[in-house]
């Protein structure tokens, strides 16, 4: 088995907006092992979704993947043909979005929507596909009698389960989940996290995106922290939580999670920068209480101490 299921190397993604060029993902590298749960954490606007959607090739104009490489299970995803990629997305890579209605059609019964996955990818007949749909629906914790329901007849939590059912229907090797619980209340949030973890136990790698470091810490094998389009810290979850090296990660840990997503992290003053013109040097320096001269001038590179990597001039190592 290859060491990594997914390897993102030096990824650069920009949005060519009318008001300027947004450097949303700026030379980010990240690797995911088979069966691993990795969480990407950071405030809103740090480039998490852009990074994740690049893997699924869901970046459309004015966005563009400008540089880098994404290798998935031995294939260079940015170079596979559209025909080849259609076989990978949905089959080997599943995606769950924050709002389940992104992937659900409000006008069609959920059973038909799940069945369609089997019909399109595996060429199944309708009857057999519906049988499979019932199976996967029960697997995500929804009773079979809901098969004929429309999305609006379900709760937000149930709709997210249906969206997960569609994403995992073909047992993908990688499940990308972008803030899948952010719009749900905490109890439902927990049951969805349990559900994702159950797929991990069956061998699926999970790339989980969240603004909530505490939530990520509970389930992840590894955590990657993004700030202003950059990867600023990465390592085993317990190391990130017990010994965060980047002042940004330290601030995230001290912040109180907010159901609707913190607009502002209380322990860190200010906001992430405008990515059309990020600050020079370390992008975090205007908000960092440890910032010195070098932080204002020189961009810190990611340095690794064993498995724990950090991009900070002031990071100390115990
Ligand atoms: N379609 C778009 N056009 C212009 N800028 C965009 C677009 N989508 C996202 N961005 C910008 O890219 C940056 C990263 O956004 P995003 O990947 O959504 O971050 P996150 O998921 O961490 O909240 C932000 O500055 C955002 O404003
Ligand atoms: Mg996002």
Is the distance from the beta carbon of residue 49 to the nearest atom of ligand 1 less than 6 Å?
Answer: yes
pLDDT greater than 80 at residue 317 = no
Is the distance from the beta carbon of residue 13 to the nearest atom of ligand 1 less than 6 Å?
Answer: no
Domain 6-92+170-310, CATH class in plain words: alpha beta
Q: What is the pLDDT of residues 36-55, one digit of tens each?
A: 999 999 999 999 999 999 99
Residue nearest to atom 2 of ligand 1 (CA): 15
Is the distance from the beta carbon of residue 275 to the nearest atom of ligand 1 less than 6 Å?
Answer: yes
Atom of ligand 1 nearest to the CA of 46: 22
Cα(1) to ligand 2 centroid in Å equals: 31
For the chain, the structural domain boundaries read 6-92+170-310
87-104 average pLDDT score: 94
Q: What is the pLDDT of residues 233-283, one digit of tens each?
A: 999 999 999 999 999 999 999 875 555 554 456 678 899 999 999 999 999
Is the distance from the beta carbon of residue 11 to the nearest atom of ligand 1 less than 6 Å?
Answer: no
Is the distance from the beta carbon of residue 48 to the nearest atom of ligand 1 less than 6 Å?
Answer: yes
Is the distance from the beta carbon of residue 44 to the nearest atom of ligand 1 less than 6 Å?
Answer: yes
Q: Best of 47, 95, 227 to mutate for ligand 1, by most ligand atoms within 8 A of CB? A: 47
Q: What is the DSSP string of the chain?
A: --S-SEEEEEEEEEEEETTEEEEEEEEEEEEE-TT-EEEEE--TTSSHHHHHHHHTT---TTEEEEEEEEEETTEEGGGS-HHHHHHHBTTTEEEE-SSGGGTS-TTS-HHHHHHHHHHHHH---HHHHHHHHHHHHHHTT--GGGGG--GGGS-HHHHHHHHHHHHHTT--SEEEEESTTTTS-HHHHHHHHHHHHHHHHTT-EEEEEES-HHHHHHH-SEEEEEETTEEEEEEEHHHHHHS--SHHHHHHHHSPP-TT--SS-TTS-S-PPPTTSPPSSSTTGGG-TT--HHHHHSPPPPEEETTEEE--TT----
Cα(184) to ligand 2 centroid in Å equals: 16
- The pLDDT score that the predictor gives to residue 300 is 97
Q: What is the pLDDT of residues 151-180, one digit of tens each?
A: 999 999 999 999 999 999 999 999 999 999
Ligand approaching nearest to the C-alpha of 278: 1
Q: Best of 43, 45, 177 to mutate for ligand 1, by most ligand atoms within 8 A of CB? A: 45
- pLDDT band per the 50, 70, 90 thresholds, residue 318: very low
């Amino acid at each position: 088995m290859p060491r990594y299921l997914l390897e993102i190397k030096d990824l650069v993604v920009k949005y060519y907006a009318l008001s300027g060029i947004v450097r949303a993902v700026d030379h980010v590298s990240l690797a995911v092992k088979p069966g691993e749960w990795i969480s990407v954490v950071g405030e809103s606007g740090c480039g998490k979704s852009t990074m994740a959607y690049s893997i699924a090739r869901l970046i459309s104009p004015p966005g563009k993947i400008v540089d880098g490489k994404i290798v998935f299970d031995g294939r260079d995803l940015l170079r596979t043909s559209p025909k080849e990629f259609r076989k990978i997305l949905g089959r080997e890579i599943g995606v769950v979005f924050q709002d389940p209605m992104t992937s659900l059609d409000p006008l069609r019964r959920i059973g038909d929507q799940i069945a369609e996955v089997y019909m399109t990818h595996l060429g199944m007949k309708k009857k057999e596909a519906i049988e499979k749909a019932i199976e996967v629906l029960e697997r995500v914790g929804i009773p079979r009698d809901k098969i004929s329901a429309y999305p609006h007849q379900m709760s937000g939590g149930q709709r997210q389960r249906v969206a997960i059912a569609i994403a995992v229907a073909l047992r993908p090797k990688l499940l990308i989940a972008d803030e899948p619980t952010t719009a749900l209340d905490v109890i439902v949030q927990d049951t969805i996290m349990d559900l994702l973890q159950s797929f991990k136990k069956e061998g699926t790698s999970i790339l989980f995106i969240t603004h909530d470091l505490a939530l990520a810490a509970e389930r992840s094998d590894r955590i990657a922290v993004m700030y202003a389009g950059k990867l600023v810290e990465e390592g085993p979850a317990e190391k990130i939580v017990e010994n965060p090296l980047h002042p940004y990660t330290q601030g995230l840990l001290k912040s109180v999670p907010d159901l609707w997503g913190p607009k502002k992290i209380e322990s860190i003053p200010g906001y992430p920068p405008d990515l059309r013109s990020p600050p020079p040097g370390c992008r975090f320096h205007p908000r960092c209480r440890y910032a010195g001269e070098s932080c204002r001038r020189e961009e810190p590179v990611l340095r690794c101490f064993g498995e724990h990597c950090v991009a900070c001039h002031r990071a100390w190592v115990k």
